[in-house]
Structures are given as structure tokens and as C-alpha cells.
């Protein structure tokens, strides 16, 4: 059983929205219009990156939990490849402010990781499947 994706996505979106106003405003002041646009793009990349994982892994967990690890690793590899391609395609862009983009992605990642950590530590999710017969039987304890 995994933490419900909706809780993490909801909290991540709320925290990202709270971060967006000061981040975009600060980048606009320090780096101009391209800095503000780059900050907004960076936060958008973070939202998509984390949301895709949660939605894909959550869907697999509901339908075929035995394929959860493969789905998580496959989703991660796919996201890293797409992100790498995106970053390679914008590395020489003059329309974007790359330091503003990088810093907002950096801060946004920590915001989403914090959201995931908070939800995981404040959600009562058992580490076993209570619906599966014989999932845990106190009579079958390992020898001490």
C-alpha cells in the first residue's frame, strides 16, 4: 500500500503556488521579464515531473501492485530522459534566464520533497496488506 497520490499532489501544488509568488517576483526584480518567465517555467517543470510519477505509480498500485517497482523505475527513466532532452534543447536559449530557471527548479524540488515527506509521515499507511489472508500472523514469528 502506498500513500495516496492525491494528497501529495494537492499539498505540492499548494506549496508550489505559495512559492511561485515570491520566486517569480524576486526573479522579475533581479533578472527582468525573462527571469520571471524562467522561474514560472521552472516551477511548472517541477510540478509536471513530480505529478507524473505520483499519478503513474498510483494507477499501477491500484491495478497491478506486483508491477509497482517496474512502473516506478520505468516512469523515472522516462522522466529523466525527457528532462534531459528538454534541458539540452534550452541550453543555448537567449529567451530564458537559465540561472533563474535552475534556482527555481532547485527550490521547487525541495518543496515537493518536503510535501512528500510530510504526507508520508502524517498518513497512517500500514506496512503490510491487511486484506491479504495470512499477511501477518503472530503465531508465525521468526525464531529469536
> pLDDT tens for residues 2-57?
667 888 899 999 999 999 999 999 999 999 999 999 999 999 999 999 999 999 98
Question: CB under 8 Å to 72, separation ≥6 — which residues?
Answer: 53, 57
pLDDT bin (cut points 50, 70, 90) of residue 133 is low
Residue 84 clears pLDDT 90, i.e. is over it? yes
Classify residue 32 as left (phi > 0), alpha (psi -120 to 50) or beta. left
What's residue 144's pLDDT?
Answer: 62
Residue 106 clears pLDDT 90, i.e. is over it? yes
Classify residue 79 as left (phi > 0), alpha (psi -120 to 50) or beta. alpha
CA distance 120 to 115: 8
Residue 57 grid cell: 505509480
What's residue 120's pLDDT?
Answer: 85
Residue 127 clears pLDDT 90, i.e. is over it? no
Residue 124 clears pLDDT 80, i.e. is over it? no
The rounded mean pLDDT for the chain is 87
Asked if 113 and 50 touch (Cβ cutoff 8 Å), the reply is no
What's residue 12's pLDDT?
Answer: 93
Residue 139 clears pLDDT 90, i.e. is over it? no
Residue 1 clears pLDDT 60, i.e. is over it? no
What's residue 34's pLDDT?
Answer: 94
> Closest by alpha carbon to 100, among 60, 40, 58, 59?
40
Amino acid at each position: 500500500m502506498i500513500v495516496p497520490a492525491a494528497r501529495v499532489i494537492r499539498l505540492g501544488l499548494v506549496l508550489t503556488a505559495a512559492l511561485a509568488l515570491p520566486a517569480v517576483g524576486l526573479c522579475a526584480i533581479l533578472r527582468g521579464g525573462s527571469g520571471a518567465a524562467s522561474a514560472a517555467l521552472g516551477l511548472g517543470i517541477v510540478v509536471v515531473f513530480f505529478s507524473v510519477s505520483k499519478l503513474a505509480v498510483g494507477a499501477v498500485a491500484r491495478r497491478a501492485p506486483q508491477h509497482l517497482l517496474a512502473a516506478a523505475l520505468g516512469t523515472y527513466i522516462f522522466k529523466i530522459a525527457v528532462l534531459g532532452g528538454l534541458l539540452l534543447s534550452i541550453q543555448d536559449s537567449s529567451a530564458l534566464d537559465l540561472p533563474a530557471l535552475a534556482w527555481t527548479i532547485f527550490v521547487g524540488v525541495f518543496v515537493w520533497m518536503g510535501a512528500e515527506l510530510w504526507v508520508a509521515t502524517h498518513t497512517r499507511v500500514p506496512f503490510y496488506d491487511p486484506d491479504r489472508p495470512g499477511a501477518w500472523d503472530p503465531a508465525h514469528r521468526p525464531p529469536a
